[in-house]
Structure 1
Amino acid sequence: MSPAQESIKDADFILPPDVDAKSFVAAMDEMRKVVGSENLEIITAAKMMPDSDGHYFNLPREHDLFYCLEKDTFLASAVIVPGSVEDVSAIVKLANKYLVPLWPISRGRNLGYGGAAPRLRGSVVLDMGGRMNKVLNIDDEHATALLEPGVSYFSLYGYLQNNGHKHLWIDSPDLGGGSVVGNALDRGAGYTPYGEHFSMHCGMEVVLPNGEIIRTGMGSLPENNTWQLFQYGYGPYPDGIFSQSNFGIVTKLGIWLMPDPGNAPTIRNTLIDAAVYAQKAEYSLSKEVLTETEVDEIAKKIGVGRWNIYGALYGPEPMRKLQWEVIRSTLMTVPGASFQFAADVEKEPKAKVLHMREETLKGIPNTYELGWLDWTCKNGSLLGFSPISPVTGADASRQYEMVKRRFHEFGFDYIGTFVVGWRELHHIVCLTFDKTDPDSRRRAHRCIELLIDDAAKLGYGEYRTHTAFMDQIASVYNWNNNSTLRFNETLKDALDPNGILAPGKSGIWPKRLRNRGFEIQRSSPTSDGASSKP
């Protein structure tokens, strides 16, 4: 052993379980040969990006910018940026050799759900979007695209606009800087009829946990011409096991674009609109949860209602007129209801939320909703809570009261929106908090913990979650003695016997790490309730 090797100490690194410093350094040396020195960075506590340097377009890759536990709870040991599917395959094989866990990300911009931070401390973040960011193909005739993980909604929209495809639309979520591939794999949603993003994917290229590369659907037939046209191919349909999972790394994804869009309405509360414009302090000097009267005053000030439906009609004008008459005659039966068209509202000196939503409904990505982050304080933080229910007024009211009660208990204003899907209702709740205040972090974390159990008791489950709550949500999807989790663990152990791919993702732990204390248990019941002075 050389003197240089003898000087390597475990304390010098943020090591994953079962890996010592010498093995870690050896693994990094071999992976560096695959991607080049400029595309591999080893993280130490001193190298963690200061929070003040973080922004939506410059998020840290090694920890969650909006941490609700301690800053270093979900901390990476290194960040690697592969440039090709061959790079990814080689890195996965080396990870197996050295038992180094990998945490793949696309662009790491899933705000409110953990960012790029790995679930298991010491994992190596595999930044799939850093260099693998190309639009590989646009099929104009069939309205499809083939994308790498680094293609954002902004970049796809720009590509279509600048390359003669303006007649093809995309479906963007609230913020347009995230990955089209990553959002689909996380089963995110948008606001047009193509808003259920995973349903609109068609064909994957995947690196399995052993480094083997497969293509799903028609892609497994060499020289086929329907990879992005027909989702299923022949035999079992595996695509679903690669969404919200740790069973493979998706390196290419087909997406259906919109040649002829339709309509998907959203129902937003007053404060989610108010937060787009300004901080809470601009509306009220109170530090407490806003009263119903104060919310009424804010609604009047910004010219909206307590609940606001945003939607769009598409198609030939005669058809739109017929649709509008049916919608108008129905909604105008609600006492106090009124309506506005974006064209009738002045856009200057400042655009209204109505104009912002109009862009989203046209498939134009934007970042207006970043205003949410500053509601509590400048440079504030966000936790997302996203339960699903049937599309009924009774379910919407029950969820609203459930969330509002917990938020008020812990000293937070309710900010939320309901998104109507195909046959389900997405309740997107935004808990804004001050991460620089330990008490604010504690209250935010405990509030979501209790809401997960509140929702489960009423039969509501979250469709995605922050890294800190993955184990808890997996535990409430527990029909038949947790048969689904046991099935996922069986798949994990078969596909990834060394447990190197995204350990803990969606509450799925490999056998090597299972029941060793890496799962996050619920907080002690003694921590219920708000602080002595919220």
Structure 2
Amino acid sequence: MCAQIADTQKFLGRVARILPDDRIDATETTRQRYGRSTFGNPRVPDAILYPVTTDEVAGIVKAANDTNTAVHAISRGKNWGYGDAGPVERGQVILDLSRMNQVLELNRELAYAVIQPGVSQGQLSQHLAEHAPDLWVDATGAGVDASLVGNTLDHGFGHTRYGDHFLSCCGMEVVLPDGRVIHTGYGHYPNAKSDKVYPYGVGPMLDGLFVQSNMGIVTRINIWLMPKPEDFCSFVFMGHNDHDLEDIVNRLAPLRMQGLLQSAIHIGNDLRIMSARMRYPFDQTQGITPLPEDVRADIRKQGMIGMWNGCGSVSGTKGTVRAVRKELARVLKPYNVRFINDQRLALAERIQKGLAMVGAGGWLGEMLGIFKPVYGLLKGEPSNEHIRGAAWRVRDPEPELPADPLDVHAGIAWLSPVVPNRGEDARQLMNLMEPVYQKHGFDSLVTFTMITERAMICITNISFDKRIPEECQRAQDCYEELMKILMESGFIPYRSGPTGYAKLRLEGDPFWDVVNSIKQTLDPNDTISPGRYVAPLDDKPSTQHRLAG
């Protein structure tokens, strides 16, 4: 421990030659704030550094490598439920890249932007509204302040036909553990004309090494933007029975496979919709958890919520949208599909205003308030309204404005298994998870998102109150059991936080052996984010030795 402290102090002395004093913070208050977690124990860093250039990042990483100091980079620290703003382990030094927040290039003709890690989805959305209103960015439900780079580097996704963010990434700038800076794709050729429009370059494609790993620190990416379509409409649908899930998935999957539906399609259960609108009704349940069936049914009835509720969008030429709408109306006829575009939404708002003038229209106003942020997301407009669902089980009154989950004691443990686009697989997964949630006293909040033509991601989370130790322990037990069941049944999560990294690694698996070998080659001192997805290098003997033996 003394050697570790000495190394850290030596490292900070080196950093003082790179950054001014006001961009080095080792105060207890700041360290504790960054160490807060929505799941698991706090992971308090030794210090927080705020670089603003790639050269500064490279200098810091080189100093960390030389002094045997572990550093962990965050983009904006809004990774709630997946690690938040903290390091992988206590004692690492945080590189907060939020001040690297420039839109470095915007090309309207070829529809791409070059952005730094500190650029939020709200910032880029506003930048496009001002400088390129004919382009959309794909946004997630993580709020206006969430980083686009950070989400991309964890295989995050959004809502438009550009919803798979890694597929919309076309080249990166990366600082390696020894301080070298590389550009992937064609980016390392000084005169390349296609580095932002053709992702592969020539030779091995290295981009994947820096996604869900700790091989380097990404300081910029090139992302493709969606041209504003000639026509656009959203669609919503509802199934009133639990067994409708299988039928809905099997009706939509062929349309996704044929390319008629190109946006991400979200299918959420009633509990997911409730959590977005309200806090858990402890007064109605006399404190009983999970939500009793009679109360659950009553909330569904009052809120006009289905057992399964879905949305997506259709865009393209007017003829394309008209034809796809016709097919969707046929395929989803049993599920009361409705189509909403800008004109219909504006009409509903005018009607609501008129009704409000005579003391009516309250219900319509409430529905518009719920639907408009969803509609905006389908067009790439981020909103903070979707953050509300993170505090479903917090026992305080809901604030008027959406709040940072960490500030309202929200406990969040995400699980995100990948599922084939088949109704029977979705049902199998629900049958595995629901008894575990019930056993531990939690609600099975579930959304299935058709992210590709062949796969869905099931987003589900344990929601709890961080101030109640007994509930925190039950949440941990529930997470452990769910992860074990998911891994054993083949529904492997696409993403994790620090609590789950080790559970995703299989001992003796050649895949992870190769990953470990690459890590040892690029980062033999384990300088960058030790333990993030890749096993810490001191966890096991040399991979090369094991392979040779």
TM-score by length of 1: 0.85
Whole-angstrom distance in 1 between the partners of 2:9 and 2:264: 51
User: Residue 419 of structure 1 aligns to a residue in which SS?
Assistant: strand
Contact kept in structure 2, 1:452 and 1:473, CA below 8 Å: no
Aligned to 2:89: 120
Matching residue of 1:386: 416
Give the partner amino acid of 1:42: A
Q: 1:396 to 1:48 in 2, by over 3 A?
A: same
Q: Percent identity?
A: 29
Cα distance change of structure 1 residues 353 and 282 upon mapping to structure 2, 3 Å threshold: farther
The structure-2 alpha-carbon separation of the partners of 1:282 and 1:449, relative to structure 1 and needing over 3 Å to count, comes to closer
Q: Residue deviations 1:40-63, cap 9 Å, x none?
A: 11154x6544xxxxxxxxxx42x1
- Mapping of residues 297-316 of structure 1, within 5 Å: 297-316=298-317
Q: Is the 8 A contact 1:18 1:99 kept in 2?
A: no
Q: Structure 2 vs 1, CA of residues 37 and 293 (structure 1 numbering), >3 Å: closer, same or farther?
A: same
SS at match of 2:316: coil
Distance change (3 Å), C-alpha of 1:111 and 1:351: farther
Cα deviation 1:280-301 (Å, max 9, x = unaligned)? 1278334221233332221111
Per-residue deviation, residues 305-355 of structure 1 (Å, max 9, x unmatched): 110111112123332222112112111235xx4546473665525634332
Change (3 A) 1:314 1:338: closer
Matched, 1:267 2:273: no
What do residues 398-434 of structure 1 show as CA deviations (whole Å, max 9, x unaligned)? Answer: 1122221111111001112111011210000121111
Query: Paired residue for 1:104?
Result: 73
Of 386, 402, 415, 2:445 maps to 415
For 1:219 and 1:191, locate their aligned partners in 2 and report how far apart those are by CA, in whole Å: 28
Distance in 2 between the 1:23 and 1:333 partners? 66
Q: Give the deviation of 1:18 after TM superposition.
A: 7.5
Preserved CA contact (<8 Å) 1:492 1:508: no
Query: What secondary structure does 1:446 align onto?
Result: helix
Per-residue deviation at 1:373? Answer: 2.4
Asked if 1:466 is matched to 2:467, the reply is: no
- Does the aligned pair in 2 maintain the 1:19–1:98 contact within 8 Å? no
Deviation per CA, 1:429-468: give whole Å up to 9, x if none.
1211111111111111121111111112221101111211
Q: 23-32 or 266-275: which moved more?
A: 23-32
State which of 452, 455, 459 in structure 2 corresponds to 1:424: 455
Indicate which of 15, 31, 36 corresponds to 1:64: 36
Counterparts of 2:89 and 2:127, CA distance in 1: 36
Q: Deviations over 1:76-132 (max 9, x none)?
A: 111001111100111111101110001011111111111121112210011112x21
Distance 1:117 1:137 in 2: 30
Does the CA-based 8 Å contact 2:416-2:458 persist in structure 1?
A: yes
Partner of 1:495: 522
Amino acid at match of 2:390: L
Q: Is the 8 A contact 1:64 1:116 kept in 2?
A: yes
Mapped partners of 1:403, 1:120: distance in 2: 29
1:51-450 to structure 2, matched below 5 A, reads: 60-61=33-34, 63-68=35-40, 70-71=41-42, 74-129=43-98, 131-163=99-131, 165-176=132-143, 177-259=145-227, 262-281=262-281, 284-287=284-287, 288-333=289-334, 337=336, 339=338, 341=340, 343=344, 348-349=365-366, 351-377=368-394, 378=396, 379=408, 380-422=410-452, 423-450=454-481
- The aligned counterpart of 1:6 is none
Which moves more between the two structures, 387-396 or 316-325?
316-325
Report the equivalent of 2:510: 483
**Aligned amino acid, residue 313 of structure 1:** V
User: Alignment partner for residue 11 of structure 2, among 18, 23, 27?
Assistant: 27
1:174 touches 1:367 (CA, 8 Å); kept in 2? yes
Task: Decide whether aligned partners of structure 1 residues 352 and 398 sit closer, same or farther in structure 2, where only a CA change above 3 A counts.
Answer: farther
Distance 1:143 1:18, change over 3 A: farther
Secondary structure at the aligned position of 1:35 is classed as coil
- 3-state SS, counterpart of residue 310 of structure 2: strand
Q: Which structure 1 segments of 5+ residues have no match? A: 1-16, 50-59, 517-534
- Mark the CA change 1:492 to 1:257 in structure 2 (over 3 Å): closer, same or farther: same
Asked if the contact 2:390–2:412 (Cα under 8 Å) also holds between the matched residues in 1, the reply is yes
1:90 partner letter: G
1:504 aligns with 2:531: yes
CA distance in 2, matches of 1:501, 1:453: 28
**What residue identity is the alignment partner of 2:380?**
G
Q: In the superposition, relative to structure 1, how do residues 400 and 43 fare at CA in structure 2: closer, same or farther (>3 Å)?
A: farther
What is the rounded CA distance, in whole Å, between the counterparts of 2:278 and 2:198 in structure 1? 46
Alpha carbons 1:81, 1:128 under 8 Å: kept: yes
SS at match of 1:399: helix
**Preserved CA contact (<8 Å) 1:246 1:508:** no
1:41 aligns with 2:12: no
Deviation at 1:277, TM superposition (A): 1.8
Is the partner of 1:453 in helix, strand or coil? helix
Name the Cα RMSD after superposition. Answer: 2.0
**Alignment partner, residue 9 of structure 1:** none
Instruction: Specify whether residues 338 and 168 from structure 1 end up closer, same or farther in structure 2 by C-alpha distance, changes over 3 A only.
Output: closer
Alpha carbons of 1:405 and 1:455: their partners in 2 closer, same or farther (altered >3 Å)? same
How far off is 1:21 after superposition? Answer: 2.7
Give, in whole Å, the separation in 2 of the partners of 1:283 and 1:324. Answer: 43
Q: How many residues align?
A: 475
Q: 1:19, 1:297 → 2: CA distance?
A: 61
Deviations 1:214-240 (A, max 9, x none): 111111111222221110111111100
1:279 aligns to what SS in structure 2? coil
Deviation (angstroms), 1:25? 1.6
Q: Which has the higher contact order (CA 8 A, sep 6+)?
A: 2
Flag the 1:474–1:260 CA change in 2: closer, same or farther, 3 A: farther
Rounded Cα–Cα distance in structure 2 between residues aligned with 1:194 and 1:291: 39
